[in-house]
Amino acid sequence: MLYALNEIVQLLLTYRYELLFPISIFEGPIITVVAGFLAAKGDLIANIDADTIVTKDWTRKVLKAFEEEENLVAISGPYFYYDLSWFVNLQVRICYGVIFLIYLFNKHIFNVGSVIQGGNCVTRRSAILKIDGFNDKFDFYGEDADLARRLHQVGDVRFTFLLPAASSGRRFKAEGFMKIGIKYAMNYFCTIFLKKPFSKKSIDHRIKKDGKSVEAQQNPKLY
């Protein structure tokens, strides 16, 4: 069962957490994440994209994971796409299988990083402070891989299929599954091994009333 944003808020209120909704006049994921981080008062920071819907037990699973493992600094899970076909979602699941293998190798064998799905993750505030915050070299692509790489140095960064979330596939619709998949892969490996993004800019895709994706504008540079 999936919950809408207002239901998530009510669910969090039952845990007596204080909720803050900072508003930024700038666009881009890093700007938004930093604004939320600076406004937050607790040690657990949830990053959920505006078009993402989490499962009913998402909050319970997250809190349990952090309570059980003191060394856990971040937890994340995969996406499935509510506006894409079952066939595309099947391809996505196969890709996540490959991603999970890469996650295991990079984390446990090569010890060079981990995997974080940027719009479906929770991090410890104290761990973010230990790594000197977020990296403004990353505009869009690779920012979550860079965060996973650096957080891996101070604690356990866990990627689990037990924490899925539904999201919009508008980017896949607009640019194509293969193109986006290759772009994500190139940016991940460049970030992990070269410590820099492969793609400098991203396209802001919006959904029109007819359900089609439209390019809004290029994300602004970060200074």
Q: Is residue 211 part of a domain?
A: no
Decide if pLDDT at 125 tops 70.
Answer: yes
> How many domains is the chain partitioned into structurally?
1
What's the token pair of residue 34?
A: 């930093």
Decide if pLDDT at 218 tops 80.
Answer: no
Q: Is residue 222 part of a domain?
A: no
Q: Is residue 208 part of a domain?
A: no
Q: Is residue 60 part of a domain?
A: yes
pLDDT for 84-114, tens place per residue? 999 999 999 999 999 999 999 999 999 999 9
Q: Is residue 219 part of a domain?
A: no
Q: Is residue 11 part of a domain?
A: yes
CATH number of the domain at 118, please.
3.90.550
Please name which of 150, 17, 152, 134 lies closest in space to residue 71, comparing C-alpha atoms: 152
- Find the mean pLDDT for residues 131-159: 89
Q: Is residue 220 part of a domain?
A: no
Please name which of 101, 156, 146, 102 lies closest in space to residue 124, comparing C-alpha atoms: 156
- Cα angle: 32, vertex 131, 104; to 5 degrees: 90
pTM for the full predicted model: 0.78
Range of the domain at 176: 5-200
Dist. CA 172–CA 196, nearest whole Å: 23
